[in-house]
Structure 1
Amino acid sequence: MAERTAAAPSKPRQPRWWGSVRARTTFASALVVALALVAAGAAVLAVLERNLVDSAGLQAEVVAREVATQVAVGTPFDHLNLPDEDDRPVQVVDADREVLAAGDDLHHAPPLADFARAPHRPDDHDDHDDDGDTPARGSAGEHAAFRTVPLKLHDDHPGQDFRVAGLLATTPTGRTVTVYAGFSLDTEQQAVDGVRDAMLIGLPALLLVVAAVTWLVTRRALRPVEGIRAELAEIMGGDLSRRVPQPASRDEVARLAQTTNVTLAALEKSVERQRQFVADASHELRSPIASLRTQLEVARAHPHLLELDGLIEDTIRLERVASDLLLLARLDAGERPRAARLDLPELVRDELAHRSGDRLPVTADLPDAPLPVSASRTQLTRVLGNLLDNAQRHAGSVVRVAVRRGPAGSVVLDVTDDGPGVPPADRERIFTRFIRLDDARTRDEGGAGLGLAIVRDVVHRHDGRIEVGDADGGGARFTVTLPAAPRPTEPVPAAP
C-alpha cells in the first residue's frame, strides 16, 4: 500500500492592496468625509443664499420706505428722488395700475406687481401679513411684501433676478399708491457661485489629504499586526517556545499580542504534556509487552517452562494501562460524561459486592437514605475503584469508605486507609500522570501511576473536586465532593 504523506501547510496568500484592511479603511474614511462635507457644504450654501436674499430684501425695503416717505409728505411724483435704476429699480403705481413714477426704462413697463404675481421660484419667501400680492398699508412700521422676480431693464442689459419689496403709501390728498423697489441679486449669485466653486475645488484636495493621512495612520497602526502575523507564520514551523512581539502601547493590538502569547504558552505546555504523556505511555507499555514477548519466546523454546500466571498478569496489566490511556485521551479531548441520576451509596454497595481479591477487607459507612448525584455510572465506578485500589496498596490493616451529605447541597465520598499517608508537599503531585511517590517500588506493585490522575480528571468533568488530607488515627483520606442531583420535577397530570 502506498504510504500517504500529509500535505505541507501552504503559506497564507497575501491579499491585494485594494482588498487589505488599510485600503478599506482609507476608502471608508474618505467616503464618510466626502458625504459629511457635501452635506455641510449644501447647508452652508443654503444658509448663505438665504441670508444674502434677506439682505437684498432689506435693502429693497429701505428704498421703498424712503420713496413712500416722499410720497407721504406730498412730493410730486415727477420730483421724487429715485435711486439708480440699474441696481435698485423703483416704480410708483396707482390703484388703476398706472405707473406714476419710475426710471426711464420702467416708466412705460408694466408694474412690477405683474412680476410679483409670476409663479413662485424655489427661493421665494413671503414676509407679509396677507396674501403677499397686496403690500401692507400704513406707516414705516408696517411690513412690506417681498418677491424674487427676473427683470430685464433694457435691451442691452442682461436679465437678472431682483428682490422686490412692495409697500403702500398715502398722499396728503388721500390717494393710495403702491411703491415697488427692487435690489439686484447679482452680487448674491456671484458670492454663492464663488463659495460653491471654492468648495468644489477644495473637496478633492481635502479628500486626498484625508485618504493619505488615513493610509499612513492605518499603516503605522497595523504594523505590529503584521509583525504578529509574520512571527506566527514562523512559529507554525514547530518552535512553540517563540513569542510574538508585544507593542509597548496599551491598545487593542497590544492586548491581541498578549492574548496570543498566553495562547502560545498554553499550547506549548499542552504539546509538552502530550509528548511527555506519549513517552510515558510508551515506557509503561514497553515493560509488559517486553515481558510477554520474553515469556512467549522462552515458552516456544522450552514449553515446559511456560508460566501461565505470569502471562495472565502481564496481559491484565497491559489491558489496564491501555484502558487508562484511552480514558485519559477521551477526557483530554473534552468528552462530556453522559450524566444520569445515580444513588451514590447504592453505587458503592454494588462496587464493593463485585470486588474480589482485595488484600484487606473494606469497611463501609453508608446512609440508608439515598444521596443522588448526576454522573456517569461507568466513570464514577472507575473513580471509586481507583481510590480503593490506591488505599489497598498503602493501607496497613484497614480501608474505609463512607458517603455523607455535604454542605451547600453536595454529596461527599471519603476513602481512608491507615497507611503512611501523603506528605503535604506531595498532595498535589500525586495527581500527576505516571507519578509514583515510592521510587523503590516495582512497577508491578505500584501500578502505572495513572489511577489518581484519572480520578481527578473525571471528578473535574463532573464539576466536583477532590482533596487529600489526614485520616483519623493516621493514614490518608481522599475526599470527593460532587454536586447533588436536582430534584426530579413531578409529572404534570394529563388533562381529562
Structure 2
Amino acid sequence: MRRVFGSVRARAALGATVVVAVALVAAGLAVLQVLRADLVDQARLKARTDAREVASRIAAGTGYRALELDEDVPVQVVDEDGRVRAVSEDLEAVTGTGSASVTPVGPRPGPGPDGGGDADDDGDGDDDAGQVSSEEEYGHGSARIDGETGDYVWAAVEVTDRRGTEVTVYAGAPLATERGAVSTARDAMLIGLPLLLLVVAAVTWLVTRRALRPVEGIRREMAAITASTDLSRRVPEPGTHDEVARLARTTNETLAALEASVARQRAFVADASHELRSPVASLRTQLEVGAAHPELLDVDGAVEDVVRLQRLAADLLLLARLDAGERPHGGSPVALDALVREELAQRTGDRVPVRTEVAPVAVRGSRGQLSRVLGNLVDNAQRHARGGVRVAVREEGRWAVLRVADDGEGVPEGERERIFERFVRLDDARSRDDGGAGLGLAIARDVVVRHGGTLTVSAAPEGGALFEMRLPSG
C-alpha cells in the first residue's frame, strides 16, 4: 500500500479525486438545499392562495356552512375563541393549526338573527362586507384525509366576516412533492457521484502517467549514466515547453558541466604528474650520483630541484583548494598600496628593476592570496622583461586597479586568454629552465575571480604585456 501511494501518479489521482469529491458533495448539498427551499416556497404559495380564496369568500358574506370546502385542500376555519367554524370534507385529523378539532361547532348564542350572534348559514343581510388581513403566517404540521396522513405546510390568514367576527383560515399544501423530489435528487447524486469520481481518478491517472513519462525516461538514463560512469551521455529532452522539458535541459547542462569538470580534473592530474616527474627524476639522479660519488654531488642543483618541487606542490594545493570552492576568509580590509610596497621590498636580487606608482586604495579579501597574485604577476613580468617592470596602483571609481607592465615581447592577441589556462607556457623551454610550471597566471586569475574581480592582459605602452587586476574597492 505504501508503495502504491508512494507514486506521484497515485498521489495526484487521489488528490484530484478527493478535491472533486469535496466539491461535488458541497455542490450537491447546496443544490438539495435550494431545491428543498424552492419546493417549500411553492407549497407556501399554494397554501396562501387557497387560504386567501376561502377568506375572501367569508369576507364577502358566505356562511361557514355554505363554504363548500374541497376535500383535496385541507382547510380549517377557527374563530378567536379557538372554536372550529368550518373544515374541509374528509379531514379526519390535523396538527399545526389553530385547533386539533375537525368538528365544526354551531353559532354562538346571542343577539342576531334567529338568536345567533354569528353569520347565518345563508350569509344574507345588510351588514357591510368583511375584511381580509394583508398578512399571513406559515407553519408545519400534518393532516389525515380519507385515511391517508401526510405532512403539510399551513398558511394562516385572518379575516373579519360581515358580522364583525374575526376568524383565521388555515389552508394546507402537501410536502410530499418536495420530499419526493429531494429524495430523487439525492438518490441520483449518490449513484452518480461514485461513478464520476471513478472517471476523475482514471483520467487523472492516465494524464499524470503521460505527463510523467519523460521523467521516467530521464530517471532511466541517469541510472544508466551512474552505472556506466559515461558522462558524455545525455537524458532525452521532450519537445514540449513545460517544466519537464526544462528539467531535462537543466539536467543535460549539469551533465555537461560535470563532464567538463571531470575532464579538467583528469587533465590537471595528468599535467601535474608530468610536471612532478622531471624534478623528481632530476633529484633522484643527483642523489644516486652523490651516493656513488660524493665528490660529484651537485648540492645547489639538488636544492633548486627541491625548491621547485616545493613551489609546484604549493601551487597544486592552492589550485585544489580553489577548485573546491574556497573563498577568501573574513574579508578584512587590505591596503593594496602597502601590500605592493611590502612585497617588492622583500624582492632582492631581481634580474630587472621594478618601478612603482602607487596611490592609497583598499580592498577586502585575503592578504595572503592577494600577495600571491602580485608575486606571480611580477615574476611573470620579470621573466619576459628586457630592462624593467612597472607596477601601478590606483582607484578608478568603485574599483581598485593594479597594473603590472613589462617591456618584453608581449603576448600575441590570439594567446591572451590561453595563457591563463593551467600548465600553458608560450615559451615552454625557457619557462621550464626558469622553474615555471605554467600555473602562476592560472592561480592569479582564480584568486582574483573569487575576490569578485577580473584579471586581463593587453599590450603595454612599453611594448610588452600589461596585466590589469580590478577588485571592488573598500
Give TM-score, length-normalised by structure 2. Answer: 0.90
Worse overlay, 431-440 or 218-227: 431-440
Note if contact 2:132-2:160 (Cα within 8 Å) is conserved in structure 1. Answer: no
- SS for the counterpart of 2:239 is coil
1:268 Cα deviation (Å)?
Answer: 0.7
What is aligned with 2:144? 152
1:84 Cα deviation (Å)?
Answer: 2.5
The reply to whether residue 462 of structure 1 matches residue 447 of structure 2 is no
Deviations 1:457-483 (A, max 9, x none): 011111111121111131111111111
Q: Which amino acid aligns with 2:281?
A: A
Note if contact 2:17-2:201 (Cα within 8 Å) is conserved in structure 1. Answer: yes
What is aligned with 1:363? 355
Deviations 1:277-300 (A, max 9, x none): 111111111111111111112222
What is aligned with 1:35? 22
Deviations 1:324-367 (A, max 9, x none): 00001111111111232221111111111111331111112223
**Aligned mate of 2:4, from 3, 10, 17:** 17
* Cα distance in 1, alignment partners of residues 188 and 353 from structure 2: 101
* Cα distance in 1, alignment partners of residues 93 and 282 from structure 2: 133
Q: Which amino acid aligns with 1:147?
A: G
What is aligned with 1:274? 265
**Aligned mate of 1:222, from 188, 212, 215:** 212
* Cα distance in 2, alignment partners of residues 206 and 461 from structure 1: 60
**Aligned mate of 1:473, from 438, 462, 469:** 462
Note if contact 1:145-1:166 (Cα within 8 Å) is conserved in structure 2. Answer: yes
Deviations 1:253-285 (A, max 9, x none): 011111111111111111111111111111111
- SS for the counterpart of 1:425 is helix
Query: Aligned ranges for residues 280-291 of structure 1 at < 5 Å?
Result: 280-291=271-282
What is aligned with 2:194? 204
Task: Call closer, same or farther: CA 1:263–1:139 in 2, change over 3 Å.
Answer: farther
The reply to whether residue 99 of structure 1 matches residue 88 of structure 2 is no
Query: Aligned ranges for residues 396-415 of structure 1 at < 5 Å?
Result: 396-406=386-396, 408-415=397-404
Task: Call closer, same or farther: CA 1:44–1:145 in 2, change over 3 Å.
Answer: same
* Cα distance in 2, alignment partners of residues 313 and 448 from structure 1: 14
What is aligned with 1:391? 381
- SS for the counterpart of 2:340 is helix
Note if contact 1:67-1:81 (Cα within 8 Å) is conserved in structure 2. Answer: no
1:219 Cα deviation (Å)?
Answer: 0.6
Q: Which amino acid aligns with 1:320?
A: R
* Cα distance in 2, alignment partners of residues 474 and 111 from structure 1: 116
* Cα distance in 2, alignment partners of residues 276 and 394 from structure 1: 27
Note if contact 1:98-1:111 (Cα within 8 Å) is conserved in structure 2. Answer: no
Task: Call closer, same or farther: CA 1:108–1:437 in 2, change over 3 Å.
Answer: closer
1:104 Cα deviation (Å)?
Answer: 4.2
- SS for the counterpart of 1:16 is helix
What is aligned with 2:416? 427
**Aligned mate of 2:342, from 350, 358, 373:** 350
Deviations 1:208-229 (A, max 9, x none): 1111111111111111111111
**Aligned mate of 1:436, from 425, 444, 451:** 425
* Cα distance in 1, alignment partners of residues 438 and 337 from structure 2: 27
* Cα distance in 2, alignment partners of residues 226 and 95 from structure 1: 83
Query: Aligned ranges for residues 30-429 of structure 1 at < 5 Å?
Result: 30-85=17-72, 88-106=73-91, 112-114=97-99, 142-153=134-145, 156-157=147-148, 159-237=149-227, 238-338=229-329, 339-367=331-359, 370-406=360-396, 408-429=397-418
* Cα distance in 1, alignment partners of residues 220 and 88 from structure 2: 84
Q: Which amino acid aligns with 1:383?
A: V
Identity %: 60
* Cα distance in 2, alignment partners of residues 228 and 253 from structure 1: 9
What is aligned with 2:104? none
* Cα distance in 1, alignment partners of residues 99 and 292 from structure 2: 134
* Cα distance in 2, alignment partners of residues 165 and 243 from structure 1: 80
* Cα distance in 1, alignment partners of residues 164 and 280 from structure 2: 134
* Cα distance in 1, alignment partners of residues 31 and 134 from structure 2: 31
Deviations 1:107-165 (A, max 9, x none): 786882247xxxxxxxxxxxxxxxxxxxxxx86682311111133346x42x3210100
Query: Structure 1 segments of 4 or more deviating over 4 A?
Result: 107-111, 138-141
1:82 Cα deviation (Å)?
Answer: 1.6
User: Unaligned 5+ residue runs, structure 2?
Assistant: 101-129
* Cα distance in 2, alignment partners of residues 44 and 110 from structure 1: 30
The reply to whether residue 447 of structure 1 matches residue 436 of structure 2 is yes
Note if contact 2:354-2:390 (Cα within 8 Å) is conserved in structure 1. Answer: yes
Q: Which amino acid aligns with 1:471?
A: A
* Cα distance in 1, alignment partners of residues 405 and 231 from structure 2: 43
Note if contact 2:425-2:431 (Cα within 8 Å) is conserved in structure 1. Answer: no
1:413 Cα deviation (Å)?
Answer: 1.0
* Cα distance in 2, alignment partners of residues 111 and 460 from structure 1: 92
Deviations 1:364-411 (A, max 9, x none): 2223xx3222121111110111001101110011111111122x2221
Note if contact 1:387-1:415 (Cα within 8 Å) is conserved in structure 2. Answer: yes
Q: Which amino acid aligns with 1:63?
A: D
1:97 Cα deviation (Å)?
Answer: 1.6
What is aligned with 1:494? none
* Cα distance in 1, alignment partners of residues 5 and 93 from structure 2: 69
* Cα distance in 1, alignment partners of residues 93 and 279 from structure 2: 128
1:51 Cα deviation (Å)?
Answer: 0.5
1:302 Cα deviation (Å)?
Answer: 2.1
Note if contact 2:94-2:144 (Cα within 8 Å) is conserved in structure 1. Answer: no
* Cα distance in 2, alignment partners of residues 365 and 215 from structure 1: 74
Note if contact 1:60-1:164 (Cα within 8 Å) is conserved in structure 2. Answer: yes
1:440 Cα deviation (Å)?
Answer: 4.7
* Cα distance in 1, alignment partners of residues 428 and 137 from structure 2: 112
Which of structures 1 and 2 has the bigger CA Rg? 2
Note if contact 2:402-2:470 (Cα within 8 Å) is conserved in structure 1. Answer: yes
